[in-house]
C-alpha cells in the first residue's frame, strides 16, 4: 500500500492558567526538547513560540510561573526566552503550576506541590528600560482664587482626591479610556483651607481658618453630604496652631490623627466629639515641616522635619499611644539616624520603593537618596543638583520614580536613570506624586496662582 501517511490531530496549547494572572513564563517539553516562553495571557502574545511544525504527537509537559502583573512590569518581552550563562533569575512568581497535555486529553493545571520546579534553574537576561508610560491628562477648572493645591490623596482603586486651598475637593475616578470627576465644596468663598484628608468612607475632614481672626476650626462631612463643626480646641489641645491631618485608617474611620508643625500629636474622637493631646511638641519653633506616609508594610505614620534631631524621620504609632520613635520596619526601635548627606539638608519625601524604606534629603544645591537596610541608613545616590524632589514611589519591578520642583518626573531602572525623563511642565510649580492601584498620578499647583486650569497627569504603569 503506497501513499499512506498519518494525519496528526491539531494541537492547541492549553494556557487557561487559574486565577487572574496577566502574564506567565511557561516551559514546554515537546518531543524531548524544552522551550521556555514569556506569554501575555491577555492577548496570547508569545505562546506561538512554544509549539512549531516539529510536533510529533507525544504528550507535552508544561510548567508555568504566573504573575499578577504584565510582562512590561516584570521586565520581559513576549516570545521565546533563551538560556544564558549569565543572566538575572526570573522574578518571584505568584503561582507555580504543572500540566500534561495531548490533543485527545488536554488535562488541567495543578498547583506544584514539590519544592523544585523545572523553571527554578532557568535564567534569562531581563529587558531593562524605562516604564512604557501611557499618559492621560485631566484638567480641572480653577476658580478665580487660584490653583494652590493643599494635598493629593490616593483613594481605593484608581481614584484620587485633589484638595485646593479654596476648599474644593475634586475626586477623579479613571480608567485607561475615561475619567469621571466629582467636586464638593466644603465652604463657599472666601475661605482658607489649612489642611484636609479623605477617610476610607469617602468623608472629608478639613481644618479651616475662620475669617476676622476667628481661629481654626475642624469640620467633618456628615452622611447627608453637609459639614458639621467639631469641638473647638483649646490651649490644652494646642488650639492656636495649625494641623496636618493624617490619613484615617480603614479600621478606625471615626478617629482622626493630626500633627502640628512643631511635632505635637493630637487625636479627635468623632463619637465623643473630643480632642486629646497625645504628644507635646518636640520643639517650640514652628518652622518644622512635617509630611506623612502611611506605610502598608509597617503600619505607622512616617513624618520628617526640618529641625527634628539630625533631620530624622519619626514613626508615629497610629494605635493612639502616641509613641515617637525612629524609623521602624519590624516594630522595633531603631537608633540609626539619617546620614548627614548633604550637610544641613532637610527631608523632602519619604516612601517605600524598590530599595525599601527610602527618603529624599536635600538642600538648595544637592539632593541624595537614602534607604534603610540592616539596621541603618545607607546612601544610594546623589541626584541632579538643581532638581529637588518632593515625592517618591516605585512604579514596578526595579523602577523608582520621583517628582520634583517644576513638575519634572525622574525615573530610575535599577541604578541607571532613564533617558526618557518626563520634562518639567512649567517653571513655577512643585509637583505632587501619589500611587493608585495601577497608575502614578502627578499634579501641581501654580504658586503664583495665575492659571485657570489644574492639570492632572495620569501615568499608567500596568498596561
Whether pLDDT at 367 is above 80: yes
Structure confidence at residue 76 (pLDDT): 81
Same-domain pairing of 324 and 394:
yes
Same-domain pairing of 80 and 196:
no
Residues 6+ apart with CB under 8 A from 20: 68
Output 315 or 85, whichever has higher pLDDT. 315
Q: Which of 77, 99, 124 is the last residue of a domain?
A: 124
Residues 6+ apart with CB under 8 A from 398: 75, 354, 413, 414
How many structural domains compose the chain? Answer: 2
Same-domain pairing of 37 and 174:
no
DSSP 8-state code for residue 48: G
For residue 12, is it within any domain? Answer: no
Mean of pLDDT values over 150-171:
90
Q: With 0-12 CB in 10 A as exposed, 13-18 as middle and 19+ as buried, what is 233?
A: buried
Same-domain pairing of 188 and 56:
no
* Cell numbers found for residue 15: 494556557
Give one DSSP letter per residue of 303-337, joined into a string.
Answer: EE-SSSGGG-EEEE-TTTT--EES--SSSS-----
For residue 15, is it within any domain? Answer: no
Whether pLDDT at 314 is above 70: no
**Confidence band of 310 (pLDDT split at 50, 70, 90):** very low
Q: Which of 17, 170, 157 lies closest to 96, judged by CA?
A: 17
Structure confidence at residue 331 (pLDDT): 32
Same-domain pairing of 97 and 143:
no
Same-domain pairing of 100 and 143:
no
Whether pLDDT at 206 is above 90: yes
For residue 45, is it within any domain? Answer: yes
Asked if 137 and 126 touch (Cβ cutoff 8 Å), the reply is no
Minimum mean pLDDT among 50-59, 175-184, 394-403: which range? Answer: 50-59
What's the maximum distance between 2 C-alpha atoms anywhere in the chain?
Answer: 108
Same-domain pairing of 254 and 226:
yes
Distance CA 305, CA 281 (A): 12
- Containing H/E element for 350? strand 346-353
Same-domain pairing of 225 and 79:
no
Structure confidence at residue 102 (pLDDT): 80
Structure confidence at residue 288 (pLDDT): 44
Same-domain pairing of 63 and 116:
yes
Structure confidence at residue 221 (pLDDT): 95
CATH number of 405's domain: 2.130.10.10
Whether pLDDT at 306 is above 50: no
Same-domain pairing of 222 and 139:
yes
Same-domain pairing of 210 and 83:
no
For residue 13, is it within any domain? Answer: no
Residues present in the chain in total: 463
DSSP 8-state code for residue 92: P
Distance CA 433, CA 412 (A): 16
Distance CA 387, CA 411 (A): 13
pLDDT in tens, 382-413: 887 656 777 888 876 667 888 877 667 788 87
For residue 154, is it within any domain? Answer: yes
What is the span of the domain harbouring residue 57?
23-124
Mean of pLDDT values over 340-349:
77
Asked if 377 and 370 touch (Cβ cutoff 8 Å), the reply is yes
For residue 64, is it within any domain? Answer: yes
Instruction: Give SS3 for 211.
Output: coil
Minimum mean pLDDT among 41-45, 85-89, 157-161, 209-213: which range? Answer: 85-89
Same-domain pairing of 308 and 411:
yes
pLDDT in tens, 240-288: 888 888 888 777 899 898 877 776 778 899 999 999 987 777 665 544 4
Structure confidence at residue 1 (pLDDT): 37
For residue 10, is it within any domain? Answer: no
Q: Which of 206, 191, 146, 207 lies closest to 444, judged by CA?
A: 146
Share of the chain above pLDDT 90, in %: 18
Residue 9's CB is within 10 A of a number of other CB atoms, namely 9
Structure confidence at residue 140 (pLDDT): 84
Q: Which of 90, 124, 158 is the last residue of a domain?
A: 124
Minimum mean pLDDT among 19-28, 54-63, 125-134: which range? Answer: 125-134
Whether pLDDT at 94 is above 80: yes
Output 283 or 317, whichever has higher pLDDT. 283
Asked if 350 and 392 touch (Cβ cutoff 8 Å), the reply is yes
For residue 181, is it within any domain? Answer: yes
Q: Which of 124, 145, 163 is the last residue of a domain?
A: 124
Structure confidence at residue 298 (pLDDT): 46
* Cell numbers found for residue 160: 484620587
Whether pLDDT at 439 is above 90: no
**Confidence band of 322 (pLDDT split at 50, 70, 90):** very low
Classify each residue of 194-211 as buried b or exposed e, where b means 16 or more C-beta atoms within 10 Å of its C-beta.
Answer: bbbbbbeeebbbbbbeee
Amino acid at each position: 500500500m503506497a501513499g499512506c501517511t498519518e494525519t496528526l490531530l491539531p494541537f492547541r496549547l492549553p494556557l487557561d492558567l487559574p486565577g487572574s494572572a496577566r502574564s506567565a513564563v511557561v516551559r514546554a517539553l515537546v518531543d524531548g526538547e524544552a522551550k521556555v516562553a514569556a506569554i501575555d495571557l491577555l492577548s496570547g502574545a508569545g505562546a506561538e513560540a512554544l509549539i512549531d511544525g516539529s510536533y510529533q504527537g507525544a504528550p507535552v509537559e508544561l510548567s508555568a510561573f504566573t504573575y499578577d502583573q504584565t510582562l512590561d512590569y516584570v521586565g520581559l518581552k513576549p516570545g521565546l526566552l533563551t538560556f544564558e550563562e549569565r543572566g538575572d533569575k526570573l522574578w518571584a512568581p505568584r503561582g507555580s503550576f504543572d500540566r500534561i497535555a495531548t490533543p485527545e486529553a488536554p488535562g488541567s493545571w495543578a498547583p506544584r506541590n514539590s519544592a523544585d520546579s523545572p523553571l527554578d534553574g532557568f535564567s534569562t537576561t531581563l529587558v531593562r528600560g524605562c516604564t512604557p508610560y501611557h499618559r492621560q491628562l485631566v484638567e480641572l477648572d480653577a476658580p478665580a482664587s487660584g490653583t494652590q493645591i493643599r494635598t493629593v490623596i490616593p483613594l481605593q482603586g484608581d481614584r484620587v482626591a485633589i484638595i485646593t486651598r479654596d476648599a474644593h475637593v475634586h475626586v477623579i475616578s479613571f480608567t485607561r479610556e475615561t475619567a469621571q470627576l466629582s467636586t464638593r465644596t466644603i465652604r463657599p468663598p472666601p475661605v482658607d483651607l489649612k489642611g484636609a484628608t479623605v477617610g476610607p468612607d469617602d468623608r472629608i475632614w478639613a481644618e479651616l481658618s475662620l475669617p476676622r481672626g476667628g481661629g481654626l476650626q475642624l469640620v467633618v462631612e456628615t452622611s447627608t453630604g453637609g459639614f458639621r463643626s467639631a469641638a473647638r480646641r483649646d490651649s490644652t489641645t494646642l488650639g492656636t496652631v495649625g494641623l496636618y491631618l493624617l490619613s484615617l485608617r480603614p479600621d478606625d474611620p471615626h478617629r482622626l490623627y493630626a500633627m502640628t508643625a512643631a511635632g505635637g500629636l493630637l487625636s479627635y474622637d468623632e463619637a465623643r466629639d473630643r480632642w486629646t493631646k497625645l504628644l507635646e511638641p518636640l520643639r517650640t519653633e514652628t518652622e518644622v515641616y512635617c509630611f506623612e506616609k502611611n506605610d502598608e508594610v509597617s503600619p505607622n505614620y512616617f513624618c520628617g522635619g526640618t529641625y527634628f534631631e539630625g533631620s530624622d524621620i519619626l514613626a508615629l504609632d497610629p494605635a493612639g499611644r502616641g509613641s515617637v520613635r525612629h524609623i521602624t520596619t519590624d516594630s522595633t526601635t531603631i537608633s540609626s539616624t539619617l546620614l548627614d548627606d548633604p550637610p544641613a539638608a532637610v527631608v523632602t519625601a519619604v516612601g517605600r520603593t524598590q530599595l525599601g524604606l527610602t527618603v529624599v534629603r536635600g538642600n538648595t544645591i544637592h539632593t541624595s537618596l537614602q534607604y534603610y537596610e540592616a539596621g541603618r541608613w545607607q546612601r544610594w545616590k546623589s541626584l541632579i543638583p538643581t532638581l529637588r524632589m518632593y515625592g517618591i514611589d516605585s512604579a514596578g519591578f526595579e523602577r523608582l520614580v520621583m517628582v520634583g520642583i517644576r513638575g519634572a518626573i525622574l525615573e530610575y531602572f535599577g541604578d541607571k536613570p532613564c533617558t526618557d525623563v518626563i520634562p518639567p511642565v512649567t517653571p513655577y510649580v512643585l509637583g505632587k506624586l501619589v500611587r493608585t492601584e495601577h497608575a502614578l498620578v502627578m499634579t501641581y499647583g501654580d504658586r503664583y496662582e495665575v492659571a485657570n486650569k489644574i492639570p492632572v497627569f495620569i501615568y499608567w504603569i500596568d498596561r
